[in-house]
Amino acid sequence: MTTRPRRSAVALALVAVLALSGCVPTWLSGLTGQDTSTPTGEEVDAGLEPYYRQALVWERCGGGAQCATAIAPLDWDDPGEGDDVELALVRYRATEEAQGSLFVNPGGPGASGFDFVRDSVDFAVSERLRERFDVIGWDPRGVGRSSAVTCFTDPADMDEFIYGVPEAEPETPEWVDELERSAQRFVDACAENSGDLLEHVDTDSTVRDLDMLRAVVGDESLNYFGYSYGTEIGARYADRFPERVGRLVLDGATDPTTTQFEVVLAQSIGFESALTTYLTECAAAATCPFPTDTAAALAVVEQLYERLESDPIAGPDGRLFTDSVLDIAVATALYDEASWEFLSQMFTELRTGVVETGFLLADFYYGRENGEYLDNSLEAFIAINCLDYPVERDAERIIEQNAAIAEAAPVTSDPSVLGDVVCQNWPHEFEGELEPVRAEGAPPILVIGTTGDPATPYVWAEALAEQLESGVLLTYDGEGHIAYDEGDPCINDLVDDYLISGAVPASDPVCAG
């Protein structure tokens, strides 16, 4: 779950390869017979039989991992009609006797679960979990190695979309026209290069993909570890398939009832609060580039935002380091307390007009390296969010919402007067309701919230645990996004015990970071 821009048509950022699979392949259609049971023995509708009964072919793909490709219908409500989508999976077998699979998703939306597990399985889960589970990561539809959303194919176009600065004076009719043209150009590229896929990358479709994947790996119930936006997938899965819930851990939880405005407002407050905490703790360091008084330090940051808005700094490659780029750089470093040192380095450099660390942080966020974009996470992020949230188009309402954001986070917030101009022009509309998830009848589900989390505020974890009929809240009293990756035994031992044995604490332990 990511954050918001300042005075920009973009929502957030990254590049890709489209992998639509065409119609049902011959090897898959050959599985359609009278037996409509899955590898787990469960009954499915005849139209879903080719998908739920497919046999995955796992092949070695380096470092002890195995990789496979699954096929899912493009439209779950009309399977067998039109193209299918490919889903890329990676698996590490249990190092001891397996008690099933554990699916892992790192969040986003748009982050690659394939890369997360393949490249850092020992970071994603503990040694204890690796002993007991086949750990599986996958790229959700629209993402990475799966059938992927593609918009711009030229990195220069993506640079212009993300880092470009309108030539007109801010908030003039000419400035508005520039931002709208930029947004429309991006939307048109997404529609042209992604085709029908663009309509079917919503989270509810991913939830149905996940249930199919559970079945084809032979698990009667789903064991799942979702981080950040990955908790949205897990929570919606539990609500749709409560009878198939095994053990679910939702760390850095989202609240499925929040609107896009409520997300932006909460994250604006969260990141400004995290920045304040950083500045307070920075004061104790001899290398801190700020006054020791927190209020005075915040004033310095606010002045920097204002200066960069009117007078950006040109980087070595010609890109301009604007207030929008500063915002993304700051947010990137605030995701984890261990990255705060990069903030001090960036702010120190900016005092002399050096933007190396600032661009390093922003480029890391956008997946940009040496002028190239390494994945499609920006395109996927925007495409999924435009389908998952209703978009606000009423100008007066946008003004009211912007005023609320600016009041709540006066130093770092400066929302676009146009609202989300990309989703406003998206070719496909949000369908459905932002409703609470209940998961009636599901076994206990662990929901973890970090009190100082700027990206998925702690109140969201409280809300999700309350919504879920069997939600069990674990609180990590600390800074940063996600608790499990902090390695605190208080959290991690409880999570591991739950996934292995189903044990849940009698009450919230409130683990201190």
Which positions are annotated as active-site residues? 228, 453, 481
How many beta carbons lie within 10 A of that of residue 444, not counting itself?
Answer: 17
How many beta carbons lie within 10 A of that of residue 472, not counting itself?
Answer: 18
Q: Side by side, which strands form the sheet with 511-512?
A: 59-60, 66-73, 84-92, 134-138, 101-105, 222-227, 245-251, 445-452, 471-479, 511-512
Q: What is the DSSP string of 153-197?
A: -SHHHHHHHHH---SSPTTSHHHHHHHHHHHHHHHHHHHHHHGGG
Amino acid at 35: D
Task: Find, among 377, 396, 393, the residue nearest to 385 by Cα.
Answer: 377
Amino acid at 134: D
Q: Checking DSSP bridges between strand 101-105 and strand 511-512, what pairing results, if any?
A: unpaired
Task: Find, among 72, 141, 73, the residue nearest to 105 by Cα.
Answer: 141
Distance CA 326, CA 244 (A): 44
The residue count of the chain comes to 513
User: Tokens in use for 329?
Assistant: 């750089």
What is the b/e burial string over 216-245, where b = at least 16 CB atoms within 10 angstroms of the residue's CB? bbebebbbbbbbbbbbbbbbbbbbebbebb
- Rounded to 5 degrees, φ, ψ at 239 are -70, -35
